[in-house]
Amino acid sequence: MPILPKGNQVYAADLVSIREAQIRINPHIHKTPLLSSQTLNNLSGRNLFFKAECFQKGASFKFRGACNSILSLNDRQVGNGVVTHSSGNHAGAVALAAKMRGIPSYIVIPENAPECKVKNVKRYGGQVIFSQSTMLSREHTANKVHQETGAVFIHPYNDKHVISGQGTVGLELLEQVPELDAIVIPISGGGLISGITLAVKSINPSIQVFAAEPEGANDAALSKAKGEIVKLDEINTIADGLRASLGDLTWPVVRDLVDDIITVNELEIINAMKLCYEILKVVVEPSAAVGLAAVLSEKFKCNASTNSTKNVGIILTGGNVDLSVLWDSINK
Amino acid sequence: MPILPKGNQVYAADLVSIREAQIRINPHIHKTPLLSSQTLNNLSGRNLFFKAECFQKGASFKFRGACNSILSLNDRQVGNGVVTHSSGNHAGAVALAAKMRGIPSYIVIPENAPECKVKNVKRYGGQVIFSQSTMLSREHTANKVHQETGAVFIHPYNDKHVISGQGTVGLELLEQVPELDAIVIPISGGGLISGITLAVKSINPSIQVFAAEPEGANDAALSKAKGEIVKLDEINTIADGLRASLGDLTWPVVRDLVDDIITVNELEIINAMKLCYEILKVVVEPSAAVGLAAVLSEKFKCNASTNSTKNVGIILTGGNVDLSVLWDSINK
């Protein structure tokens, strides 16, 4: 049963493009496992199914979109390589997908990006070009590289191939847990949640989709409340992967099809991160714990629409985090 | 094709008892996922398949053996509960399996045991009884509890039901990677390696089994070299789960059927642990990284018998580790 767009809205991806993406990228990605824990089920009062995209190649779901995007281009188009700007997981994902295809990648990284994410890009053979930390400087630098090299720009989320690639997380999750009632997904630029929502609601429109967002980067919640894209002047959260704003391709899906946006504070994020390490035994970056934080929040528990929500999927989005404090303590 | 015991040797478990264990415990355990990484394949020059028992209930493979042991007892036998002594994962595993069966558990823990492992026992409802850290004090205290309560003693490894339970790791691994050439398994008391060896060599005698052991607790390597059980006066390793000595039920399997024992130093263990966190994105305790440390060691790479060993299974045995230094650094 296809999703009926509201009014004349046509979304950037659909079940067909997401299934095509799945066929295209399946030989190259990891089918990530589901994890579960009775302790966390008891804590939340639901059955939680954690989709561990931190075990994806490049350690985040971003590889799916980058891979689909780069494999969708023909040999002539990618002859000069690809370029992107990213402070995070998209950077490593593009470098890895480009390496796989045997083409050069130019990755513009703001000078304040976490060291571990820069290291990933280098490990995968990407050429790192530093910019200032403002979005203007990032875009300007990437554009300059594009003009100088002819490399194709791969947007981190506002791109139909990227959205379709991320949507494959939803297809896999539904194969693994067909009886799913809801999915909770950290939101930033909206590529992941758009793709998953278009995938799962096309297959089963009754599945609820909730976005999870840090209070200190709550532009998606404000956008949804106001009915138009809101951008924040200041962003303040430990979740370094959730700092982007919605794009014109992701916003319509969030506006029309995402059921609600749950915001969580920094303490809730850190507590959820701790549970991921101590109970689930997975290494997640702070952004990846925001979904669990939302499910454990009073807001989610008291949300009337979740009264009969029993089986909940949570996307653990990525695992790139600097753990040097741990190794320093062992080497002492 | 059954294993032919050397001489008149009868081993503590066999394919039949291990398959029975699998049927008995399957409804209660997690079928743990396999993880893999191109980066680690490149580093080792092999295809590595990580069996992530850190995602098992209680966060270690020990739940399999404890579960099989406790479910093998009849209602009359377990009427007074179970007792064990352990400084580690067997403690939590017995408490959890007893809770599942609805019987009391008495867990004797040496006063120097890691806090996170004591916490697990309490979380699962086990009654903690502290002893001094010597094996004599542990055994004496457990025996006293047994006499006072009538609780059945569950040995951590020198027990046929425990060995059969741990052997189910081998059955699962072979289902997941039928083309396996070798398995590398951290060794302590020998319960895990005995069970896995008896399982996989019964199905495919050409599979190599290697034990991995810290140099600072190399009693199994010394035993194998000497042809009899050697106990160490002093043990010195970060791998707190690998401090036990072989038992009379596990030793014959190690002596006759384990192909070789690879020892690794502390730096190799810490480096492998770092790779587990940073590349595989799994939370492992130091003992669980010893298998990877062995595979990456020169000793393994230069071992003539591994020349054509391509597909290697590695058991990530457990994930109970104190990460408070990480949370302290975030809360600063």
Residue of A51, A62, A160, A201 marked active site: A62
A326/B326 CB distance under 8 A? yes
Quick check: B196 and B169 in contact, CB under 8 A? yes
Closest in A35, A323, A327 to B55, CB measured: A35
Query: Residues of B with CB below 8 A from A238's CB?
Result: 330
Strand partners, A200: none
pLDDT tens per residue, range B79-105 = 999 999 987 899 999 999 999 999 999
Query: What pLDDT is attached to residue A87?
Result: 76
**Ranges of H-type helices in chain B:** 15-25, 38-44, 62-72, 89-101, 115-123, 135-149, 160-176, 191-203, 219-226, 251-257, 266-275, 290-296, 298-301, 324-331
Query: What pLDDT is attached to residue A29?
Result: 98
Residue B6 binned pLDDT confidence (cut-offs 50, 70, 90) = low
Q: Fill in the amino acid letter for B124.
A: Y
**pLDDT at position B132 over 80:** yes
**pLDDT at position B53 over 70:** yes
B282/A277 CB distance under 8 A? no
Query: Residues of A with CB below 8 A from B327's CB?
Result: 270, 274
- A321 Cβ contact partners less than 8 Å away, ≥ 6 residues apart: A114, A116, A283, A284, A285, A286
Whose CA is closest to A64, among A231, A194, A243?
Answer: A194
Question: Does B310 qualify as catalytic in the annotation?
Answer: no
Question: Does B69 qualify as catalytic in the annotation?
Answer: no
Across A118-132, A274-288, B283-297, least confident range:
A118-132
pLDDT tens per residue, range B189-209 = 999 999 999 999 999 999 999
Q: How far is CA B294 from CA A65, A291, B165, B188, B290, in A?
A: 36, 37, 25, 15, 6
User: Could you give the CA distance from residue B201 to residue B216 in angstroms, rounded to a whole number?
Assistant: 29
Domain B15-61+159-316 maps to which CATH number in 3.40.50.300, 3.40.50.1100, 3.40.50.11540, 3.40.50.720? Answer: 3.40.50.1100
Query: Residues of B with CB below 8 A from A329's CB?
Result: 325
For residues B121, B122, B125 and B129, what is the CA-based torsion angle, rounded to 10 degrees? 80
A326/B323 CB distance under 8 A? yes
Share of chain B above pLDDT 70, in %: 97
**pLDDT at position B27 over 70:** yes
Q: Which residue, among B28, B172, B278, B325, would best test binding to A if mutated, counting the most A CBs under 10 Å from its CB?
A: B278
- Residue A220 tokens read as 């998606």
Provide the angle, in degrees to the nearest 10, between the axes of the packed helices B115-123 and B89-101.
Answer: 0
Query: What pLDDT is attached to residue A3?
Result: 52
Query: What pLDDT is attached to residue B2?
Result: 46
- Residue A166 tokens read as 């991320």
User: Could you give the CA distance from residue A28 to residue A68 in angstroms, rounded to a whole number?
Assistant: 10
Query: What pLDDT is attached to residue A148?
Result: 97
A270/B38 CB distance under 8 A? no
Q: Which residue, among A278, A279, A285, A331, would best test binding to B if mutated, counting the most B CBs under 10 Å from its CB?
A: A278
- Paired sense of beta strands B152-153 and A127-131, if any: unpaired
pLDDT tens per residue, range A63-93 = 999 999 999 999 999 999 999 998 789 999 9
Residue A279 distance to chain B (closest CA, Å): 8
Q: What is the mean pLDDT of chain B?
A: 94
Query: Residues of B with CB below 8 A from A283's CB?
Result: 277-278, 281-283
Q: What is the mean pLDDT of chain A?
A: 94
Query: What pLDDT is attached to residue A1?
Result: 41
B281/A282 CB distance under 8 A? yes
- Of the two residues A1 and A54, the one the predictor is more confident about is A54
Interface of chain B toward chain A, CB-CB under 8 angstroms: 30, 33, 35-36, 38-39, 54-55, 57, 59, 116, 123, 238, 270, 273-274, 277-278, 280-284, 319, 323, 325-327, 329-331
Q: Fill in the amino acid letter for B246.
A: L
Give the DSSP per-residue string, A65-126. Answer: HHHHHHHHS-TTTTTT-EEEE-SSHHHHHHHHHHHHHT--EEEEEETTS-HHHHHHHHHTTP
Residue B39 binned pLDDT confidence (cut-offs 50, 70, 90) = very high
Query: Residues of B with CB below 8 A from A36's CB?
Result: 30
Query: Residues of A with CB below 8 A from B323's CB?
Result: 277-278, 326
User: Could you give the CA distance from residue A143 to residue B128 in angstroms, rounded to a whole number?
Assistant: 64
**pLDDT at position B176 over 70:** yes
- A311 Cβ contact partners less than 8 Å away, ≥ 6 residues apart: A46, A47, A49, A177, A179, A180, A181, A182
B33/A38 CB distance under 8 A? no
Query: Residues of A with CB below 8 A from B176's CB?
Result: none
Share of chain A above pLDDT 90, in %: 86
Quick check: B186 and B291 in contact, CB under 8 A? yes
Q: ipTM score here?
A: 0.94
Residue A7 binned pLDDT confidence (cut-offs 50, 70, 90) = low
B33/A33 CB distance under 8 A? yes
pLDDT tens per residue, range A223-247 = 999 999 999 999 999 998 898 899 9
**CA B220 to chain centroid:** 14
Query: Residues of A with CB below 8 A from B35's CB?
Result: 33, 55
Q: Could you identify the residue written with the tokens 């007792």?
A: B83
Interface of chain A toward chain B, CB-CB under 8 angstroms: 30, 33, 35-36, 38-39, 54-55, 57, 59, 116, 123, 238, 270, 273-274, 277-278, 280-284, 319, 323, 325-327, 329-331
Mean per-residue pLDDT, B52-66: 98
Domain A62-153 maps to which CATH number in 3.30.70.1560, 1.25.40.10, 3.40.50.1100, 3.40.630.30? Answer: 3.40.50.1100
Q: Where are the domains of chain A?
A: 15-61+159-316, 62-153
Q: Fill in the amino acid letter for B212.
A: A
Residue B5 binned pLDDT confidence (cut-offs 50, 70, 90) = low
User: Could you give the CA distance from residue A28 to residue A254 in angstroms, rounded to a whole number?
Assistant: 29
Share of chain B above pLDDT 90, in %: 86
- Of the two residues B111 and B7, the one the predictor is more confident about is B111
User: Could you give the CA distance from residue B166 to residue B151 in angstroms, rounded to a whole number?
Assistant: 23
The H-or-E segment that residue A140 falls in is helix A135-149
Residue B65 distance to chain A (closest CA, Å): 19
B281/A283 CB distance under 8 A? yes
Q: Which residue, among B42, B281, B321, would best test binding to A if mutated, counting the most A CBs under 10 Å from its CB?
A: B281
Strand partners, A264: A214
B327/A270 CB distance under 8 A? yes
Query: What pLDDT is attached to residue A2?
Result: 46
Same fold, A15-61+159-316 and A62-153: yes
Residue of B62, B117, B160, B224 marked active site: B62
Q: Is the dihedral of CA A266, A269, A271, A277 positive or negative?
A: negative
pLDDT tens per residue, range B255-273 = 999 999 999 999 999 999 9
A281/B59 CB distance under 8 A? yes
Share of chain A above pLDDT 70, in %: 97
pLDDT tens per residue, range A260-296 = 999 999 999 999 999 999 999 999 999 999 999 999 9
Mean per-residue pLDDT, A41-66: 97
Residue A303 binned pLDDT confidence (cut-offs 50, 70, 90) = confident
A327/B270 CB distance under 8 A? yes
Residue B3 binned pLDDT confidence (cut-offs 50, 70, 90) = low
Query: What pLDDT is attached to residue A304?
Result: 82
Residue of A87, A131, A194, A245 marked active site: A87
Residue B34 distance to chain A (closest CA, Å): 8
Mean per-residue pLDDT, B130-151: 93
Mean per-residue pLDDT, B300-320: 93
